[in-house]
Amino acid sequence: MAKHLTGKDINNLVSLIDAWEGKLGWEALCDAAAPLVGVRPTRQTLNSHAQVKAAFGHKKKQQKTGFVSTKRPPSLSIAEQRIERLENENDRLKAENASLLERFVQWQYNAYKHGLSKQKLDAELPAIDRDSSERS
């Protein structure tokens, strides 16, 4: 049976995609993910996680526009790689944030449509009584 990916695994995969150099493909990503996850995940497993799928799509789109690395001394080359990775991560997070804002607007409209007030939406969460099962 296939291993289910944890949140930590997904974050590691997204970081791997953000720092990816060279041609990116599902098979290459599956091979590179094997040491991070412990077993080689399938393309379908990776594609089923929205964060991995979004990061993969964003990186593919970025590769199509083309980033040309210039010849630099090693220290500047390392800095350039780090800057590129951080810019990739920043772009991906901006796209993810925009998606979440769209979802929030949709929820806001649906709450209004069904008559939920701001006070009901801002109500405190109920306190969790964790000792209730131990009293018996």
pLDDT digit string (tens) for 17-57? 988 888 899 999 999 999 988 889 999 989 999 899 999 99
Mean pLDDT, all residues of the chain: 86
Residue 119 CA to residue 124 CA, distance in Å, equals 10
The pLDDT value given to residue 71: 62
Q: Is the pLDDT of residue 64 over 70?
A: yes
89-114 pLDDT, tens digit per residue, is: 999 999 999 999 999 999 999 999 99
The pLDDT value given to residue 77: 82
Residue 8 CA to residue 13 CA, distance in Å, equals 9
Query: b or e along 113-127 (b: 16 or more beta carbons within 10 Å of the residue's beta carbon)?
Result: eeeeeeeeeeeeeee
